Each structure stands twice: as structure tokens, then as C-alpha cells.
Amino acid sequence: DISAGLTAKVLEPKENENYDIKKVEEITIKIYEYDSNKAGRVDLNKFTEEALMLDGDIRNEVKKGIVIRIKGNYMQPHFYEGDTLLIEKEEFGSWQELDRKIVLYEFEGETYVRKVLFEDGKGHLVAFNSRVYGNIEMNNEIKYIGRVRKQINIRNLDGIEF
């Protein structure tokens, strides 16, 4: 019997052995609701305050940016209802650089979140519920504010069906 005298060594999983745990702190931030079922409007006068646990890197970015929480299901499969997104304010370069990005902008006194899409050399701001709401063609009246850079929450998968 070859196994006689051999002892089995149990190997402990080491997947977190070299994992660097970042320091997280709770901060209270303003979260604006974005209803993807509608035209894409965000009311920057209406928000909730919520405490989130964030590490130092994203905490500083959140303090400078605008945080929106998605309502509705028109941003699927990329984002789902309840996802929280960080919009970083930045200087405007050109709309072409923002092709296929999600942006926050001001138009005719309202603030919106929409996709930038260029087709046949023309730029448009496209609502996520594009079956109901038409595109806005790029023009000089549109004031760019920033774009979605990060998702800052861990998604709750309770309401998602696979």
C-alpha cells in the first residue's frame, strides 16, 4: 500500500493573500435621481442625502462630481435601476471626443443625461428611451457639464432576473 505513512496536507485558499485592503470611510453625499424611462432630465435642485462607504480615491472624485441614481430600466444591459453613477465635471473639448459616452449637459434651462452619438458626421444627444423621446442635434446652445466615469455602488442583484 503506497499511501501508508503519507499524510494529506490541506491547502488553504490564498486568493486574498496579497490583496491590499483600502481604507474606506463613510461620507454623506447628494444623490440626484435620473429616470431613464423619461427624456433624460435630472433636477439638480432635488436630491437625497445618503451615506456611502468609499475609499480615498473615489471619495475625492465624488466630492467634486455629481452623483446620480438610475431609476427605470432603459440603460440595461450596462446599468440597472438602483445603480449609482459618478459624473465627473470637466472642461469641454469637442463633442466628437465624447462619441458613445454618457454625458450631463444643460439645454434650454434643463439638465439632462444622454448618450452622445455621431452618425454620418452629425452629432446627437440620444435619450435612453429613444422610442418616445427624440434626439437633440448638437448646437451652440448645449452646455456640456461632464460625463459618466464610474459606477460607485455594488449592484444589488435581488431584482435582476437572469
pLDDT band (50, 70, 90) for residue 64: very high
Residue 91 grid cell: 472642461
Residue 76 grid cell: 440595461
Listed in sequence order, the residues at least 6 apart from 13 whose beta carbon sits closer than 8 Å to its beta carbon are none
pLDDT band (50, 70, 90) for residue 84: very high
Q: What is the pTM of this model?
A: 0.78
Per-residue model confidence (pLDDT) at position 6: 60
Grid cell 446620480 is found at 68
Mean pLDDT, to the nearest integer, of 77-82?
87
Measured between alpha carbons, how far is 129 from 113 in angstroms, rounded to an integer?
A: 11
Nearest alpha-carbon partner for 55 in 124, 155, 162, 154: 154
Averaged pLDDT score across all residues of the chain:
85
Measured between alpha carbons, how far is 145 from 68 in angstroms, rounded to an integer?
A: 14
Measured between alpha carbons, how far is 136 from 19 in angstroms, rounded to an integer?
A: 46
